[in-house]
Amino acid sequence: MKIEGKFLFIIILLMLLALSLRLYGFYQVHMYTFDEIVYTNLSSELNDDHFKYTSQPLYEYYASRGHTLPNYLNKPLFKHPPLFCYLGSAMQKLTKNKLLGSYLPSLFFGLALIPLIFYIASELFDKQCGLLAALFIVLDPIIWICSEKIWLETILTFFMLLALFTLIKAIANEKDKTFFLAGLATGLAMLSKMTGALTLFFALSFIAIYKPTLYKKKSLWIYISTSIAMYLPWIIWNYIIYKNKFLYNLLTIQGELSFHTFAMIAAIICGAFIVYLAYRYLKKSLSNIEKINLQKMKLFIIPAMLIIIFNPYMLKGIYNSFNLFYIPNTGWTLCFFSTEPALFYIRRLIEMSPFYLFALLGIIAINKLTMKHYILYAWSLFIIGLFIIHGNYQSRYILPAIPTLLILTAAFIIQIGNSITIHFKNKPILKSILLFLYILVLLFFIIKTLIINLNLSLLNNMAYF
């Protein structure tokens, strides 16, 4: 897709605006999270020895001073793949500044999400949607905060989003080259954080349901083999260090994921597979009856959404999102949100920005949605659902779901505006009143989001949010 000059100019302006805001937050007087200290230290260690990727010296330093730290820090190999820290190490050498150098990869990929989401939204919908989604990336509090901290989440989200979009194109055109590029992006996501492997699992599951014939073609296997080949150096490194225990350490992220988590994920996978097999069987056996199609899902989706929305916990969140004076809770205490219910992430999204209400309510129109809507929703709910199972709620964990939700938000905002214009074109006065009220609502949402950013994002002084 060729980007016209005026759109390129606007995207560059949005990136410069985001750059100034993120740097302002980074240079605010604030405490650094422990993860930021770990990544800065690891990047610094890699400057001295390119294969010294361990947090043991840091663990020993804090342990000698009476601090209790997680056991995974006292391992000969750090739990996350090293791409982020290698980039941080290179930037430390370039800038001669440990903190700034470690931070620059997070900033860069946070900014890179702006043109990426513009491109994706423009390809799936139109350039108007692309610009609006890009603006939301700049203003979104969660992306903003993650882009001014020394965290893995922005690089992970960038490559997962790039992989998802490339996969959408690959599934459509079935070209070997496109699947190869999707494999490269997936591999880079996996080398950023093991969470990137969710892209591979999502792709294989979606293809099994939507286009199972691809399993018989070499193009899909090019994608799988490329993804694994990119991740292979990290697997080999783990094997060299841990020998016969490497698989356990790799799969459980050095014991961080519990048996309970794996059991729940396995149960969901088995349940979904059984439902899929039942669907395939019924589809063949009852071919003389009207075929089951995605539109029939509204019979299940709409009641489920109404139950979620009218849950007292969610109603409180919706009230908070419309309250200009409410600022979401943040803190430094370990497991700050450990007592929250399963709907925490959905409520937290709309409390951080009421614009997410458009994406949340948009799913009610499922019978009128296209396949591009379905895949964006499937990806968003897939990521959020898995981290609900994981527990230990932190908003940054679901960052890979946020760009797709913002694309959906932008698409529905434009669609509602267009619907008002079309349906009331013969009633100009009513149309003008409705559009005016709609614009007022959008302005209120912008103001509320900016207030949250002024109180949270710009101050950049929290670990859990």
Length of the chain as a residue count: 465
Query: Cα–Cα distance between 164 and 170 in angstroms, integer?
Result: 10
The per-residue pLDDT for 281 is 65
Domain end (from 130, 151, 172): 151
The per-residue pLDDT for 341 is 94
Task: Identify whether 287 is part of a domain.
Answer: no
Task: Identify whether 179 is part of a domain.
Answer: no
Structure tokens at 421: 């214009």
Task: Identify whether 285 is part of a domain.
Answer: no
Domain end (from 151, 181, 215): 151
The per-residue pLDDT for 391 is 83
Task: Identify whether 188 is part of a domain.
Answer: no
Domain end (from 129, 151, 173): 151
The per-residue pLDDT for 288 is 45
Domain span holding position 57: 1-151
The pLDDT tens digits of the residues spanning 41-66 come to 999 999 989 999 999 999 999 999 98
Segments of the chain scoring below 70 in pLDDT: 1-3, 255, 258-266, 268-269, 271-273, 275-302, 366-367
- Are 153 and 146 within 8 A, CB to CB? yes
For the chain, what percentages of helix, strand and coil (3-state, to nearest 5) are there? 75, 0, 25
- Are 154 and 113 within 8 A, CB to CB? yes
The pLDDT tens digits of the residues spanning 371-384 come to 889 899 999 999 99
Bridge-partner residues for 331, per DSSP? 464
- pTM as predicted: 0.91
Q: Where are the alpha helices (DSSP H) in 193-325?
A: 197-210, 218-242, 246-251, 259-285, 298-309, 312-321
What total of structural domains would you count in the chain? 2
Residues 6+ apart with CB under 8 A from 455: 327
Task: Identify whether 248 is part of a domain.
Answer: no
Task: Identify whether 191 is part of a domain.
Answer: no
Residues 6+ apart with CB under 8 A from 28: 458, 459, 460, 461
Task: Identify whether 255 is part of a domain.
Answer: no
Bridge-partner residues for 199, per DSSP? none
* 417 CB neighbour count, 10 Å cutoff: 16
Task: Identify whether 117 is part of a domain.
Answer: yes
3-class state of residue 286 by DSSP? coil
Query: What's the DSSP call for residue 196?
Result: G
